[in-house]
Amino acid sequence: MSSLTVGLVQVGLLVLAIGVVYRPLGDYLAHVYTSEEHWRVERAVYRLVRVEPDVQQRWTTYAAGVLGFSAMSVALLYLLQRLQPWLPLSLGRGAVDPAVAFNTAISFATNTNWQSYVPEQSLGHAVQMAGLTVQNFVSAAVGMAVAIALVRGFTAAGTGRIGNIWVDITRGCTRVLLPIAAVAAVLLIALGAAMSLAAGIHVVGLDGQAHTIATAPIAGQEAIKELGTNGGGVLNANSAHPFSNPGGLSNLLEIFLILVIPLALTRTFGTMVGDRRQGRVLLAVMVSIMALMTALVWWAESHPNGPAALAAGGALEGKEARFGLFLSGLFAVATTGTSTGAVNSMHDSFTGLGGLVPMLNMLLGEVAPGGVGSGLYGILVLAVIAVFLAGLMVGRTPEYLGKKLGRREVTAAAISILAMPTVVLLGAGIALALPSTSDAMTNTGAHGLSEVLYAFASTGNNNGSAFAGLTVTSDFFQAALGLAMLFGRFVPILAVLMLAGSVAAQQRVPATAGTLPTTGPLFAGLLGGTVVLVAALTFLPALALGPIAEALA
């Protein structure tokens, strides 16, 4: 069976699996965030943190909760790393360097999981489990909470209330992420993933020398890093390592975990607003973009333009033989189309056009289908922009889901979509202007520019994957990429919550003959065009100097 056939079979199985769970999971998520009942364990959490769960919050209070919780997460994770030698299960590993600890704390608290260190050499089990794994759960729960808050804004009738941040984070963990991740971890163990508190396995190699193969509680973190679209691995090889991703079935399971919640949230959206056609339009746009990207990367990697790759019959460098071209390409599209950042191949080794695909996936705003929560609120912001553009064309005040989109709403949406390009282009421009950056680049020319642009696209979009030819261990990159993650995460979140509060304060207006229908193929095309147009106008010059120039060379 050819690798293309294997890839097509896995795509078919993936579509089938997601199709089976799409409706029940989407409706279950809607129930989770609309139910008025609190579980006993949840009430215990609320009493512990002194929260009144039945009090609904305005967007300013909700935003303060998001920022306060995230700031506390950064501080605690930083302290765990700095105090590592005094923690149990530290495996004799010392305190993490301050700059690395700063970058890592921001990375995991922002759902980015950018890693500028070698995990199996730097971190013990305590920091991995009590620090990084915990953040994989709560940072994903924050993303879902913000998305649901925006949906509530469109369904509210003049109340100005968008929910309770503490209830939403708690329910996201207890009712969604924890149970699904537990089942996924057991499945990964059954498929061969490692789960051990040992420091490593001692073996004697073929050369007669003793070696230690690092191990850890891998399956547990692997499950939530994919399900929560986090991406940071316990091992440096990430999901290319056989202890993390043993074979074809585990590879399919991990892609399924990456995509299932972002896609199901479109059903949740339709259920909560009372019109499931609205969710199907968003789903159609997401799936169309992802299908196009998958076809493009498959074609690029199987039709390389380098002499070595041509002789090998494909761009096989940096790819696991267990997965080959097509399963590596599918994983790359899934992980960069969401905000995951996990990898089962080396994106730096992709062809010029193949490397453009994961980079472009991020620069589109990661809305195909986007991260857990961030994909839904990202595409809803673009839907607001699309409706606004349509309103400009016909000279009518735009409306979306019965809410008028005036200056305040469009300003919030504009801030949200402009934050990421500002972070990416400004950060990459400053880095390339510094003489010291050339020492950090393994490659010069178009590919070297692509490496720097990819780094800021990844951190600015809270993705976490990387072109590995760029060395980012200097204090400048630790600080610059840390700030890119902070601004790339929280400026859009604040803008989205402001939009949610603004539409929540409005009464719903009835649809008229002049209202733009947002449930058919016309709006799907308009929304898809807006997604592509925003990225094309913003990033085409930079892409032309980097991956496009490399592909044409």
pLDDT for residue 69 is more than 60: yes
Q: Does residue 161 sit within a domain?
A: no
- Give mean pLDDT, residues 246-257: 94
Query: Is residue 310 predicted with pLDDT exceeding 70?
Result: no
How far apart are alpha carbons 452 and 431 in whole angstroms? 8
Read off the pLDDT of each residue in 105-132 and give the average, rounded to a whole number.
94
Strand (E) or helix (H) holding 539: helix 521-545
pLDDT of residue 526 exceeding 70, the answer is yes
Which residue from 180, 110, 70 is spatially nearest to 341, judged by alpha carbons? 110
Q: What is the pLDDT of residue 6?
A: 77
pLDDT band at 318 (very low <50, low <70, confident <90, very high): confident
What is the structure's pLDDT at 283?
97
Q: Is residue 96 part of a domain?
A: no
Whole-number pLDDT of residue 43: 95
Establish if 374 belongs to a structural domain.
no
Q: Write the CA distances from 29 to 32, 107, 271, integer angstroms.
A: 5, 26, 10
241 found inside a domain: no
511 in a structural domain: yes
DSSP designation for 441: B
pLDDT score of 524: 96
pLDDT band at 376; cut points 50, 70, 90: very high
> Taking the C-alpha atoms of 8, 11, 15 and 20 in order, what is their torsion angle to the nearest 10 degrees?
100
Closest by Cα among 340, 363, 336, 339 to 350: 336
* CB-CB contact of 385 with 412 (8 Å): no
Say what the pLDDT of residue 534 is: 87
pLDDT tens digits, 176-193: 999 999 999 999 999 999
With 80 as the cut, is the pLDDT of residue 309 above it?
Answer: no
Domain tally, the chain: 1
How confident is the model at residue 312, as a pLDDT? 53
**Residue in 71, 81, 87 with CA at minimum distance from that of residue 139:** 71
pLDDT tens for 456-469 read 999 999 999 988 77
Tell which residue, 334, 51, 40, 325, has the closest CA to residue 168: 51
Position 421 in a domain: yes
Reading the block at residue 272, the tokens are: 């909560």
Q: pTM for this structure?
A: 0.95
Q: Does residue 9 belong to any structural domain of this protein?
A: no
Q: What is the CA radius of gyration of the chain?
A: 23
**Average pLDDT rounded to a whole number, residues 4-14:** 86
User: What does the block give as tokens for 47?
Assistant: 């009493």
356 pLDDT more than 80: yes
CA distance 231 to 228: 8
Count CB neighbours of 436 within 10 A: 10
- Domain containing 481 equals 380-552
Instruction: Write down the H helix ranges in 395-434.
Output: 407-433
Q: Which of 216-220, 379-383, 494-498 has the lowest mean pLDDT?
A: 216-220
The pLDDT of residue 384 is above 80: yes
More confident residue, 321 or 370: 370
Q: Which residue has 């290319």 as its token pair?
A: 240
Distance CA 284, CA 378 (A): 15
Confidence of residue 313 (pLDDT cuts 50, 70, 90): low
d(CA 276, CA 249): 32
DSSP state of 93: -
Q: Give the pLDDT score at 146.
A: 98
The pair of three-digit structure tokens given for residue 276, joined into one six-digit string:
């499931």
Q: What is the 3-state secondary structure (H, E, C) of 326-374?
A: HHHHHHHHHHHHCCCCCCCECHHHCCHHHHHHHHHHHHCCCCCCCCCCH
pLDDT at 64 over 90: yes
Residue 528: per-residue pLDDT: 96
Convert 125-152 to b/e letters by CB count within 10 Å (16 or more is b): bbbbbbbbbbbbbbbbbbbbbbbbbbbb
Determine the 3-state secondary structure of 65 from DSSP. Answer: helix
Confirm whether 393 is domain-assigned. yes
Q: What does the block give as tokens for 37?
A: 């009942």
- The first and second tokens of residue 268, run together, are 């949740």
| Higher-pLDDT residue of 440, 428 | 428
Q: Mind listing the pLDDT tens digit for each residue in 219-247?
A: 999 999 999 999 988 999 999 999 999 99
Q: Which residues pair with 211 in a beta bridge?
A: 203
Confidence at residue 131, expressed as pLDDT on a 0 to 100 scale: 95
Q: Which range (21-25, 166-170, 341-345) has the least confidence?
A: 341-345
Mean pLDDT of the chain: 92
Asked whether the predicted pLDDT for residue 308 surpasses 80, the reply is no
The answer to whether the CB of 434 falls within 8 A of the CB of 428 is no
